Chains A and B, each alone.
Chain A
Amino acid sequence: MQIDYYAYQSRIRGWNAAFKVLIAVATLFLVILFNRILVSLFVVAAMGALTLLVGRTPWRVYLRYMLAPVVFLLFSCLAVAVSFSGSPAGEWNVSVHFFYLCMGQESLEAAVKLFFKVLAGVSALYMMSFSTPADELVLVLEKLHLPGMFLELMQLVYRYIFILFDAASQMQTAAKARLGDCNIRQSFKTFAAIGGNLFVAALKKGNTYYDALLARGYQGRLELLTEEKPVRFWQAALGGLYFSIVILLNLA
């Protein structure tokens, strides 16, 4: 949710959304295809610089968002690097009485490669999410000819998710103000009550929303004015330079 808020603040929000999506997705494919630490490192640096230096996303926020996948990644890479065995195998072994924890040069290398590959992918996707609000992403999907109904649903869900969130947090505050969270038992009860209330409130509000749509002549198609942000020459040039470096690094 918060990532959307930062996307609105980003200085690279004005870039063409399809262009940013293209960069992110193409990068993702290239790092997976090339699978080289050097390429991955360059991508992490380039995408980080774009998000932090050009986009001016606060680095604290960026690091906090990076932390979640990194922790997850560390554990999964550990699982790749280390294997269990009945007898000593590989270059490094630790005996745990019943079995051996082994790690070989090869598996270690694979794990490190994997770590940076995923990190590169994450940083490319973060570049996109930290600079492109969800509604602009929907427009990109529209260009890819996804079914209209699906896209309209996405747009409405995106809008109403915030309203639902608001309502939920108000109910939560109101419950807290009446000691609804004084102990675990009570807070479970409160949680259930809020859930039930939200459901009823959503149904009721849904009716009002539909009336409001009809009042403005809704006929089953959600048509809105959209804005085209052209890709500027220097942006395209920068993109070209970036991809050339990625490819050259792979050949190096």
Chain B
Amino acid sequence: MDEVLLEVKGLSFSYDKKPVLKNISLSVRRGEKIAVMGSNGAGKSTFFLNLNGVLQAGQGEIFFNGKRAGKKERKGLQRSVGFVFQDADSQLIASNVRAEISFGPMNMGLSKQEVAERVKEAIEYLSLSDLQDRPPHYLSGGEKKRVSIADILAMKPEIFLIDEPMAALDPMNAEKVEQILYRLNKEGKTLLVATHDVDFAYRFADRVLVFSDGCLIADGTPQEIFNLEEVMERAHLKKPSVMVIWEALIKARLVGGEGEYPLTSGQAAEKILELSGVFKE
């Protein structure tokens, strides 16, 4: 689990001489769930495009599995690092779901049979069987999101870069997508998820990266990061509500400060009931 999968060293990138990423260095280990946070325009999407090889960094190096990914290896990088775009509409190109999912694997130069197999797997994984002949423009937002994840899944990358997967989804579809993310991670995929939702990042991630103005200003566990007031302010982030309430309870000596913080409101409620001696029947 501690094997370093992706390493970024001194990555800088500018759009038309305007620096967007400044000297980013970090390493990603296999199987991590990482939340990438930061205000709009902080450089998250550009960072993802660099990791995926769509954009070529002006300075700095990216290593995948210990190998340096230069211009020649860009194709390899796209195979191993998949990027799910925020707006599914900007990602979906084909006129039916099956063809859509086949686009990535076809570009990888696989045989038609292999492609068909992978498409089938991805369709089953995301329960899209009923929709497979439909064109993307007759799908709902949640369905489009699932198709855009299937697109990447069929390419079987080791790392998933997912840009704001829950944006513009209703709570039920957001929940579905979250379950998919957990499942992917459980099956050994490494996830980098850009998000503005602190509550989600807090319960989901085991590591948080905070970007501000093109710099990586913090890197640590959610509990560490959300306690760094200066960082939170710079990145326009708020503390997760469960954390705020739990800390107030500790301060008021209603609960003990030892042990791990609860991650969700449900977990918090359970702990409180346990402590107060009221057990669920």
Contacts and interface: CB of A to CB of B under 8 A. Distances in A.
B95 A155 contact: yes
Interface of B: 49, 52, 54, 75, 78-79, 82-83, 85, 87, 89-96, 98-100, 102-104, 106-108, 112, 115-116, 119, 134-138, 151-152, 155
Nearest to B136: A159
A225 B52 CA distance: 24
25 contacts: A5-B138, A8-B138, A134-B95, A135-B95, A155-B93, A158-B95, A163-B89, A208-B87, A212-B83, A212-B90, A214-B54, A215-B54, A215-B78, A216-B103, A216-B104, A217-B79, A217-B104, A218-B107, A223-B107, A224-B102, A224-B106, A225-B102, A225-B112, A225-B115, A227-B98
Interface of A: 5, 8, 133-135, 155-156, 158-159, 162-163, 166, 205, 208-209, 211-219, 222-227
A155 B85 contact: no
A224 B91 contact: no
Question: Which of B98, B99, B100 has the most A CB atoms < 10 Å from its CB?
Answer: B99
B83 A215 contact: yes
Nearest to B54: A214
B99 to A, nearest CB: 4
A197 to B, nearest CB: 17
Nearest to A135: B95
A50 to B, nearest CB: 21
Contact of B94 (A159, A211, A214): A159
Contacts of A224: 94, 99-100, 102-103, 106
Contacts of B151: 216
Question: Which of A135, A159, A213 has the most B CB atoms < 10 Å from its CB?
Answer: A159
Contacts of A166: 89, 137
Contact of B137 (A163, A208, A216, A227): A163
Contacts of A133: 95, 135
A190 B155 CA distance: 44
A85 B87 CA distance: 65
A222 B135 CA distance: 17
A12 to B, nearest CB: 14
Contacts of B112: 225
B95 A209 contact: no
B90 A209 contact: yes
Contacts of B116: 225
The 10 closest A-B pairs by CB, nearest first: A225-B102, A135-B95, A217-B107, A162-B137, A224-B99, A216-B104, A223-B106, A215-B83, A208-B90, A212-B91
Given A135-B135, A211-B49, A224-B102, A219 B107 contact: yes
Contacts of A219: 107
Contacts of B100: 224
B93 A156 contact: yes
A216 B95 contact: no
B157 to A, nearest CB: 10
B53 to A, nearest CB: 8
Given A8-B138, A159-B136, A225 B54 contact: no
Contacts of A158: 95
A216 B155 contact: yes
A162 to B, nearest CB: 4
A219 B54 CA distance: 12
Given A215-B49, A217-B75, A225-B102, 10 more contacts: A135-B94, A135-B135, A158-B95, A163-B137, A215-B78, A217-B79, A217-B107, A222-B93, A223-B106, A226-B99
Contacts of B108: 217
Contacts of A134: 95
B136 to A, nearest CB: 7
A128 B38 CA distance: 52
A212 B93 CA distance: 9
A213 B91 CA distance: 7
Contacts of A215: 49, 52, 54, 78, 82-83, 85
B135 A217 contact: no
Contacts of B93: 155-156, 159, 209, 212-213, 222
A62 B169 CA distance: 36
Given A133-B95, A133-B135, A212-B91, A225 B119 contact: yes
B85 A208 contact: yes
Nearest to A14: B133
B52 A8 contact: no
Nearest to A156: B93
B70 to A, nearest CB: 16
Nearest to B115: A225
Contacts of B89: 163, 166
